[in-house]
């Protein structure tokens, strides 16, 4: 057991223009933040000023890069990683949630209940994605001394949480992570969840949509 308790801080990116209209974006790299997402990122920056990090890592897609720059400033050292990208949704990418439900009845709901049972044409296999999330974040922790900040995506963060907390991969959507929410895991005698999906830095005007694009309820 280490004498030093380390903290792994994980932030989901700000609201994107596709989040705002409930469009599936996955690994798509060219989606910008919405105006709300920019406001969220600036408030996130105020929250992060009180936390010290040994290193900062970020997904290489724009909806993560933009809030990282807005929150931390252009001069802050940030390490961008392709392996911190969200899962690729293949042919679902760019479709509205309502369009996915219409074209693939029941598949989206099954994705949120038992994602390992869903095969999406052209998508990254769920098992490979889950392994990538665990391997990438574990690698960052192993290679870094001190506390770490990771700015990424809901899927990556949830997948690593199930991995590090000993849960089933199919439990990935057991966590609700709003845009620019902060999640903290203590690395001590065992990983311990200290903070989950915290948005106390936001307010009623900047909270936005809570969580992933779940099926539309009629």
Nearest to 200 by CA among 218, 182, 177, 176: 182
Q: Among positive and negative, which fits the CA dihedral 91, 92, 93, 95?
A: positive
pTM of the predicted model as reported, rounded to 2 decimal places: 0.92
pLDDT digits (tens, 9 = 90+) for 46-58: 999 989 999 999 9
CA-to-CA separations, 74 to 12, 115, 179, in angstroms, rounded: 19, 37, 21
CATH topology (fold) of 6-198: Rossmann fold (3.40.50)
pLDDT of 208 reads 67
Q: In which residue are the tokens 């970020």 written?
A: 58
Residue 113 confidence (pLDDT):
95
DSSP string spanning 174-211?
Answer: GS---TT-EEEEEESSSEEEEEEEE-TT--TTT--S-S
Query: Is residue 163 among the annotated active site residues?
Result: no
What is the C-alpha R_g of the chain? 17
Question: Per residue in 6-42, pLDDT tens?
Answer: 999 999 999 999 999 999 998 876 899 999 999 999 9
Catalytic residue among 9, 86, 153, 163: 86
pLDDT at residue 1, as a whole number: 38
SS3 85: coil
User: Angle at Cα 9 formed by Cα 114 and Cα 33, nearest 5°?
Assistant: 75
Q: Which residues of the chain have pLDDT under 70?
A: 1-3, 29, 205, 208-218
Q: Which pLDDT score is estimated for 206?
A: 76
Active site residue 30: no
Helices (H) and strands (E) in the chain, counts: 7, 6
Q: Taking a C-beta distance cutoff of 8 angstroms, is the pair 14, 40 a contact?
A: yes
Q: Enter the tokens of residue 88.
A: 């690729």
Q: Which residue of the set 9, 13, 130, 153 is catalytic?
A: 13
The predicted pLDDT at position 28 comes to 75
């Amino acid at each position: 057991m280490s004498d030093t308790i380390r903290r792994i801080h994980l932030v989901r990116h700000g609201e994107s223009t596709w989040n705002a209209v409930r469009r599936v974006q996955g690994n798509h790299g060219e989606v910008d933040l919405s105006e709300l997402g920019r406001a969220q990122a600036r408030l996130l920056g105020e929250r992060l000023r009180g936390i010290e990090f040994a290193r900062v890592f970020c997904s290489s897609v724009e909806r993560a890069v933009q809030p990282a720059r807005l929150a931390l400033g252009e001069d802050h050292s940030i390490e961008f990683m392709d392996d911190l990208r969200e899962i690729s949704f293949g042919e679902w990418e760019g479709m509205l949630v309502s369009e996915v439900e219409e074209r693939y009845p029941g598949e989206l709901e099954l994705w949120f209940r038992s994602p390992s049972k869903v095969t999406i044409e052209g998508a990254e296999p769920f098992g490979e994605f889950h392994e990538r999330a665990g391997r990438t974040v574990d690698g960052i922790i192993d290679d870094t001394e001190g506390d770490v900040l990771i700015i990424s995506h809901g899927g990556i963060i949830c997948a690593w949480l199930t991995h590090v907390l000993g849960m089933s991969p199919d439990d990935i959507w057991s966590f609700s992570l709003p845009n620019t929410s902060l999640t903290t895991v203590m690395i001590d005698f065992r990983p311990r969840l200290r903070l989950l999906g915290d948005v106390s830095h936001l307010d009623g005007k900047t909270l936005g949509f809570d969580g992933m694009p779940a099926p539309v309820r009629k």
